[in-house]
Amino acid sequence: MIPCQVGPKLWSSIQETYHRAEKNKNSFKFDTKVEVLEDPHNRVDFVLRISTALKAKKTNISSSTTSTASTAPPKNPFLPPEPELLICQLGDQHNLILNKFNVVPYHVIITTTEFRSQEEPLHVADLKALWQVLEAFPGDAVGFYNCGQNSGRSQPHKHMQAVPLPFSAEFPSAGHLHRAVDRDSVEYGLPYNTPFAVQSLPYCCFAVKFKPGERPSPEALGQLFHRLRLRAAVSLHKSDSTRDCSSYNFLLTRRFMMLVPRRSEFAGPVALNSLQYAGTFFVRNEEELQYVKRTGPFSMLVQAGVDWPTAMQNAQVALKEMSEGDSEGKAEQETREAAKEVAGLRLKRLGMRKP
């Protein structure tokens, strides 16, 4: 197993493996055309990548395929990884591989070397590996983690992903998220590395803005991630401090981290994952294309996530349940503080501003 080198050498390894795999037909890039769709409500641009082999409807799985799938266990594409897709090993716990079926070039996947569940939260070692990969990209990039059954995950084996930014040459690098995080952090008057609710976005989400030019330690990333996850959990009314937030999308850039709780995998016919919350949709058929254009991206993100009034109500119920209990351990105290923060948000600010 080849150990990963950091910085520019790692980026060179990513490029070399990508071009070699593409040349030898070990990886495949979807043929798409790019459109920029302005959300009709918030006037924010989203990138649509539309399959050039657009079909009128989704193709149903045949009965023979269903029968085979029910008797044979699904193959784990990460254990072992295909040698042609393997870039290198990140420390003792992770492999860095190419996405075999990619929509954008240099889409990479960070997998655990042993099976771990995609319903687990990220640990310090996971965040360290993801940050190493983000630092290797010469420009902006976004890392993400689809956790839980409603997150749009594709595999049960724990894996994070990273893609370069921008999503298209004409599109800013996750521009609406940067603007929302920057503006809300200034309005709150918060110091760097402090979790807060990003209320200028219409769906419930929580973020941390990093100090420019400062590299957070893996331990700091782990602590901040934990604090975001607590806020997401009470927004879904999961007040038991021993339980994880069941489904969420996590985004990480060198400027901020963000966590979006999820209550549904789908908005209409379209399955959503972290990349849709980052600002880009991959449209596979005519039904999906028309639904996205008719409904609007932000309305879809709210459908699959949690709207702010519901998040506040859930946190209020969670807080009431905790107040009636008698547990006062550290975990319970942290959860109680997260519930207080979410329950106490000001409703009049919600969803009323252009991010």
Residues 6 or more apart whose CB falls under 8 angstroms from that of 71 comprise none
> 117-154, pLDDT tens digit by residue?
999 999 999 999 999 999 999 999 999 999 999 999 99
Strand partners, 101: 28
| Selected catalytic residue, list 123, 159, 226, 237 | 159
pLDDT for the residue numbered 174: 65
Question: Can you tell me the distance from the alpha carbon of 149 to that of 236, in angstroms, rounded to the nearest whole number?
Answer: 14
> 51-109, pLDDT tens digit by residue?
887 665 444 433 333 333 445 568 999 999 999 999 999 999 999 999 999 999 999 99
Backbone angles phi, psi at 340, to 5 degrees: -60, -45
Identity of residue 264: S
In this structure, the number of other CB atoms found within 10 A of the CB of residue 220 comes to 16
Q: CA-CA distances (angstroms) from residue 219 to 95, 215, 225, 343? A: 20, 11, 10, 28
User: Is residue 332 packed enough to be buried (19+ CB in 10 Å), middle (13-18) or exposed (0-12)?
Assistant: middle
> 241-273, pLDDT tens digit by residue?
444 568 999 999 999 999 999 999 999 999 999
Question: Can you tell me the distance from the alpha carbon of 18 to that of 12, in angstroms, rounded to the nearest whole number?
Answer: 10
pLDDT for the residue numbered 123: 97
Question: Can you tell me the distance from the alpha carbon of 273 to that of 301, in angstroms, rounded to the nearest whole number?
Answer: 10
> 194-207, pLDDT tens digit by residue?
999 999 999 999 99
347 — pLDDT class (breaks 50, 70, 90)? low
- Comparing 62-71, 161-170, 225-234, 266-275, the range with the smallest average pLDDT is 62-71
In this structure, the number of other CB atoms found within 10 A of the CB of residue 84 comes to 15
Q: Which residue do the tokens 């990508």 mark? A: 18
pLDDT for the residue numbered 340: 93
Question: Can you tell me the distance from the alpha carbon of 68 to that of 57, in angstroms, rounded to the nearest whole number?
Answer: 24
SS3 108: strand
Which alpha helices (DSSP H) does 271-307 contain, by range?
274-278, 286-295, 297-304
Say if residue 348's pLDDT is above 80.
no
Note if 123 is an active site residue.
no
Arithmetic mean of pLDDT, 276-283:
95
- Specify the DSSP class assigned to residue 78: B
CB under 8 A, 24+ apart: contacts of 30-36:
30/101, 30/102, 30/103, 30/282, 32/103, 32/282, 34/168, 36/168, 36/170, 36/171
SS3 209: strand
283 — pLDDT class (breaks 50, 70, 90)? very high
Domains of the chain: 9-17+27-52+77-305 (3.30.428.70)
Read off the pTM. 0.92
Percent of the chain with pLDDT over 90: 72
Whether the CB-CB separation of 103 and 32 falls below 8 Å is answered with: yes
- Tokens standing for residue 27: 């990886």
Whether the CB-CB separation of 108 and 161 falls below 8 Å is answered with: yes
Whether the CB-CB separation of 21 and 14 falls below 8 Å is answered with: no
Strands (DSSP E) along 167-222, which ranges? 196-197, 206-209
**What rounded mean pLDDT belongs to the chain?**
88
**Nearest CA-CA partner of 178 in 261, 255, 277:** 255
- Tokens standing for residue 123: 């640990």
